[in-house]
Chain A
Amino acid sequence: MSETSSSLTLPDPAPQKTSFSGTLYRGNEGMWSWVLHRITGVAIYFFLLVHVLDTALIRVSPEAYNAVMATYKNPIMGLGETVLVGAVVLHALNGLRVIMVDVWPWATRNQRPLFWIVMGLVVVLMAYFVPNHLINVFSPMEGGH
Chain B
Amino acid sequence: MTATIENPNYAYPARSKRGPSFEKAGWIFMRASGVVLVVLIFGHLAYNLIWTPGGIHAIDFGFVGGKLADPFWQWWDVTMLWLAILHGSNGMRTIVNDYVHKPRIRQIALGAIAVAAVILILLGTLITFTFDPCPPTADPSLLPSFCADL
Contacts and interface: CB of A to CB of B under 8 A. Distances in A.
Q: Chain A at the B interface: mostly helix, strand, loop or mixed?
A: helix
Interface in B122-142: 123-124, 127, 130-131, 135, 138-139, 141-142
Contacts of B138: 61-63
Interface in B22-71: 31, 34-35, 37-38, 41-42, 45, 49-50, 54-57, 59-62, 64-65, 68
Contacts of B34: 92, 95-96, 99
Interface stretch (A8-16, A17-25, A40-48, A106-114): A40-48
A92 B127 contact: no
Nearest to A132: B50
Interface string A56-88: 101101110110010011000010010001001
Interface of B: 7-9, 31, 34-35, 37-38, 41-42, 45, 49-50, 54-57, 59-62, 64-65, 68, 81, 84-85, 88-89, 91-92, 95, 116, 120, 123-124, 127, 130-131, 135, 138-139, 141-143
